[in-house]
């Protein structure tokens, strides 16, 4: 019977082309607009570390101004650490893995004269970064442990950078110049581009992953200042010069740990508590003792990756869809009631109320399928427009995967079924004898 109802539905839709087009358009526009926005929000809300969500933690310590809590995060703690605290935490052997890091930029040049020097986005980090975030290696591996604390000029390249510099071949052992100094390639990672860029959400959560990965022991040698956010509250506190910057209270290091068991977690909490107590004795950490270990999923929320604007658009688009559904209800009601005489005849010929109901619900479902397909096209146009308006910044998130396309059709069918249920019920309940006698 399903096939029969579908063929009846298509015949019926063709019978009133203008009304059908209006209904399909209402559903398509509603689905197109809401899928455009929901796709963006869905992609922005992805957790690229979902598979390690139960073991990874972002570390926050409240080292902020005794007079005033940190205002720029919802849990009133800086989202980054001071260099001093980061290096101290690195000495703990409790976490299974841990990584301190920040963004930086090097000029990249090589003896190859065909290559113009360029500015390479770099991540200054510690050796377990790759294992912690499951970064796959194409060639080689991470640097040695001593490179995290002493100046060792080694580098891990991204796949794209390796292609640019070495044509994609195994470049382990080769050398490139960063800021004019020779660095040895120790590894090349495979394509890796978490979106949102969860490990460092400071400079645009949808920026690309870095091109170069540099050991943490080079700060003093290159006098590295973070290219990310640096926030301070005590100016000129610990002396001048670069050493003063490293020992100061400015926060600019992101810190992640992997704690694989409840016991490890408990031990690490004790460790942090002990560390803050010890620092308090030295006159630091004058605020009430407070730290936080936050899982990736919560970290995304804490950092408001999905902005208020996105949320507003999300609600608006759902309200928009609702209007389109109400619109479709009204049109379908008109259409089905016009067809009530036919339903009456069918009842006389042996169709039960249920059969009439199902027939009309399927008709509304067909409108949903067409509306959904048109809606996908509209959503693709909408996303394309947004990509264009965004200068490529959100290219990664303004795309529809198969899941979202399926969701679009699903949403359209759901919307049209919702829109069709009342009109179908009405037409199935009308007394057939009303339409059989009178003309």
Of 142 and 416, the one with the shorter C-beta distance to another protein is: 416
Interface segment toward another protein; rule CB under 8 A; list 13-21, 121-129, 131-139, 252-260: 13-21
The only residue of 145, 348, 377, 406 in contact with another protein, by rule CB under 8 A: 348
CB of 327 to another protein, least distance (A): 4
Using CB under 8 A as the binding rule, whether residue 179 contacts another protein is answered as yes
- Which residues make beta-bridge pairs with 60? 292
Which residues ranging from 351 to 380 are in contact with another protein (CB under 8 A)?
A: 351-355
Question: Segment contacting another protein (CB under 8 A): 131-139, 141-149, 166-174, 350-358?
Answer: 350-358
In DSSP terms, which residues pair with 293 in a beta bridge? 59
The phi, psi pair for 396, rounded to 5°, reads -65, -30
Instruction: Note whether 366 and 20 are within 8 A (CB).
Output: no
Residue 437 sits in the site that holds another protein (CB under 8 A): yes
298-337 mask for another protein (x: CB under 8 A)?
Answer: ---------xxx-xxx--xx-xx-xxx-xx-xxx-xxx--
> Is 282 an interacting residue with respect to another protein (CB under 8 A)?
no
Query: What is the smallest separation between the CB atom of 389 and another protein, expressed in angstroms?
Result: 5
Does 262 contact another protein by CB under 8 A?
no
Asked if 150 is part of the footprint of another protein (rule: CB under 8 A), the reply reads: no
Question: To the nearest whole angstrom, how small is the minimum distance from the Cβ of residue 393 to another protein?
Answer: 7
Cα–Cα distance for residue pair 265/257, rounded to 1 Å: 10
Q: Which of residues 56-95 bind another protein (CB under 8 A)?
A: 67-68
Of residues 211 through 240, those in contact with another protein by CB under 8 A are 222-223, 225, 233-236, 240
CB 19 within 8 A of CB 165: no
Q: Report the DSSP beta bridge partners of residue 106.
A: 120
H/E stretch holding 302 = helix 296-302
DSSP calls for 229-283 = --B-SSTTTT-SHHHHHHHSS-B-BEEEEE--SHHHHHHHHHHHHHHHHHHHHTT
**Closer residue to another protein in complex, CB, 170/388:** 388
Return the structure tokens found at 380: 């693709």
CB of 211 within 8 A of CB of 105? no
Under the criterion CB under 8 A, does residue 182 sit at the interface with another protein? no
Site for another protein in 94-123 (CB under 8 A): 105, 107, 109, 117-119
Closest by Cα among 101, 97, 103, 102 to 57: 97
Q: 15 and 299 in contact (C-beta within 8 Å)?
A: no
């Amino acid at each position: 019977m399903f096939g029969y109802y579908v063929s009846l539905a298509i015949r019926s839709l063709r019978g009133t082309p203008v009304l059908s087009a209006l209904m399909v358009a209402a559903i398509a526009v509603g689905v197109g607009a809401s899928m455009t926005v929901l796709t963006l929000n869905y992609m922005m809300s992805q957790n690229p570390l979902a598979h390690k969500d139960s073991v990874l933690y972002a570390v926050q310590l409240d080292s902020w101004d005794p007079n005033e809590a940190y205002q720029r995060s919802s849990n009133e703690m800086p989202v980054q650490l001071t260099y001093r605290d980061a290096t101290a935490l690195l000495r703990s052997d409790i976490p299974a893995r841990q990584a301190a890091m920040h963004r930086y930029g090097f000029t990249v040049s090589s003896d190859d004269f065909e290559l113009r020097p360029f500015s390479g986005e770099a991540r200054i980090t510690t050796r377990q970064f790759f294992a912690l975030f499951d970064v796959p290696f194409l060639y080689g591996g991470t640097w040695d442990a001593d490179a995290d604390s002493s100046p060792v000029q080694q580098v891990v390249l991204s796949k794209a950078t390796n292609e640019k510099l070495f044509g994609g071949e195994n470049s382990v052992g080769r050398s490139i110049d960063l800021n004019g100094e020779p660095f040895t390639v120790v590894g090349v990672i495979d394509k890796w581009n978490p979106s949102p860029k969860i490990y460092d959400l400071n400079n645009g959560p949808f920026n690309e992953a870095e091109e170069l990965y540099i050991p943490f022991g080079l700060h003093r040698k290159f006098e590295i200042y973070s290219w990310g956010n640096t926030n301070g509250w005590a100016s000129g506190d610990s002396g001048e010069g670069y050493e003063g910057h490293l020992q100061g209270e400015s926060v600019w290091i992101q810190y992640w740990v992997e704690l694989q068991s409840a016991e490890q977690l408990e031990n690490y909490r004790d460790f942090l508590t002990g560390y803050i107590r010890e620092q308090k004795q030295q006159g630091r950490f004058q605020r009430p003792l407070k730290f936080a270990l936050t899982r990736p999923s919560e970290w995304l929320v804490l950092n408001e990756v999905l902005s208020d604007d996105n949320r507003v658009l999300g609600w608006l688009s759902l309200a928009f869809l609702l209007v389109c559904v109400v619109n479709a209800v009204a049109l379908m009601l008109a259409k089905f009631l016009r067809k009530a005489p036919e339903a009456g005849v069918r009842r006389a010929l042996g169709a039960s109320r249920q059969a009439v109901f199902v027939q009309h619900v399927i008709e509304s479902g067909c409108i949903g399928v067409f509306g959904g397909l048109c809606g996908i096209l509209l959503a693709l146009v909408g996303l394309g427009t947004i990509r264009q308006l965004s200068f490529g910044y959100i290219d990664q998130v303004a795309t529809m995967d198969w899941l979202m396309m399926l969701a679009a059709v699903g949403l359209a069918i759901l919307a049209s079924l919702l829109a069709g249920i009342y009109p179908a019920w009405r037409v199935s309940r009308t007394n057939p004898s009303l339409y059989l006698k009178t003309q």
